[in-house]
Amino acid sequence: MAGDDDRNDPNRKGLVLTEEQLRRRKARNVAIAVALAVLVALFYLVTVFKMGGNVANRQL
Protein backbone atom coordinates (compact mmCIF):
# COMPACT_ATOMS: atom_id res chain seq x y z
CA MET A 1 0.00 0.00 0.00
CA ALA A 2 1.16 3.51 -0.76
CA GLY A 3 0.69 4.62 2.86
CA ASP A 4 3.03 1.88 4.12
CA ASP A 5 5.65 2.38 1.44
CA ASP A 6 6.40 6.01 2.27
CA ARG A 7 6.37 5.59 6.06
CA ASN A 8 10.11 6.38 6.37
CA ASP A 9 10.14 9.02 3.67
CA PRO A 10 11.35 12.34 5.23
CA ASN A 11 9.32 14.23 2.63
CA ARG A 12 6.16 12.37 3.55
CA LYS A 13 3.14 14.63 3.89
CA GLY A 14 0.58 14.31 6.66
CA LEU A 15 1.00 13.84 10.37
CA VAL A 16 4.52 13.55 11.72
CA LEU A 17 4.54 13.13 15.48
CA THR A 18 6.95 15.10 17.63
CA GLU A 19 9.15 13.42 20.20
CA GLU A 20 6.80 14.55 22.97
CA GLN A 21 3.75 13.15 21.18
CA LEU A 22 5.54 9.86 20.60
CA ARG A 23 6.57 9.70 24.26
CA ARG A 24 3.02 10.31 25.45
CA ARG A 25 1.56 7.81 23.01
CA LYS A 26 3.98 5.19 24.30
CA ALA A 27 2.99 6.00 27.89
CA ARG A 28 -0.70 5.60 27.00
CA ASN A 29 -0.01 2.28 25.29
CA VAL A 30 1.87 0.99 28.33
CA ALA A 31 -1.02 2.09 30.58
CA ILE A 32 -3.52 0.23 28.39
CA ALA A 33 -1.33 -2.88 28.50
CA VAL A 34 -1.12 -2.68 32.29
CA ALA A 35 -4.88 -2.18 32.57
CA LEU A 36 -5.51 -5.24 30.38
CA ALA A 37 -3.10 -7.33 32.45
CA VAL A 38 -4.86 -6.21 35.64
CA LEU A 39 -8.22 -7.14 34.13
CA VAL A 40 -6.96 -10.62 33.25
CA ALA A 41 -5.70 -11.06 36.82
CA LEU A 42 -8.99 -9.77 38.25
CA PHE A 43 -11.12 -12.13 36.17
CA TYR A 44 -8.86 -15.03 37.14
CA LEU A 45 -9.01 -14.18 40.85
CA VAL A 46 -12.76 -13.56 40.84
CA THR A 47 -13.36 -16.88 39.06
CA VAL A 48 -11.22 -18.80 41.54
CA PHE A 49 -12.63 -17.15 44.66
CA LYS A 50 -16.25 -17.27 43.46
CA MET A 51 -15.95 -21.00 42.84
CA GLY A 52 -14.15 -21.53 46.12
CA GLY A 53 -14.86 -24.89 47.74
CA ASN A 54 -17.83 -25.46 45.45
CA VAL A 55 -15.48 -27.09 42.97
CA ALA A 56 -15.11 -30.00 45.41
CA ASN A 57 -18.88 -30.23 45.88
CA ARG A 58 -19.79 -30.61 42.23
CA GLN A 59 -21.55 -33.73 41.00
CA LEU A 60 -19.12 -36.15 39.38
Partner 1 sequence: MSMIEENRVEAVAALPGPSLAGVEDYLALLKPRVMSLVVVTALTGLVAAPAGLHPVLGAVALLCIAVGAGASGALNMWWDADIDAVMARTAGRPVPAGRIAPGEALAFGMTLSVGSVLMLGLTANWLAAGLLAFTIFFYVVIYTMWLKRSTPQNIVIGGLAGAMPPMVAWAAATGTVGLESAVLVAIIFMWTPPHFWALCLIKSDDYARAGVPMLTVVAGPNETRRQILLYAIALAPLGVAPAFIGLGGALYLAVSVVVGIEFVRRAIVVYRVREGAEARKAAGKLFGFSLIHLFALFFVLLVEKAVGLPPLTAPIAGWM
Q: Which contiguous run of DSSP H or E holds residue 30?
A: helix 19-51
Q: What is the footprint of partner 1 within residues 12-31 (CB under 8 A)?
A: 13-15, 17, 20-21, 24-25, 27-28, 30-31
**Range 6-10, long-range pairs (CB < 8 A, 24+ positions):** none
Residue 50 or 58: the one with the smaller Cβ distance to partner 1 is 50
Residue 14 or 60: the one with the smaller Cβ distance to partner 1 is 14
d(C-alpha 37, C-alpha 44), whole Å: 11
> Interface with partner 1 by CB under 8 A: which residues?
13-15, 17, 20-21, 24-25, 27-28, 30-31, 42, 45-46, 49-50, 52
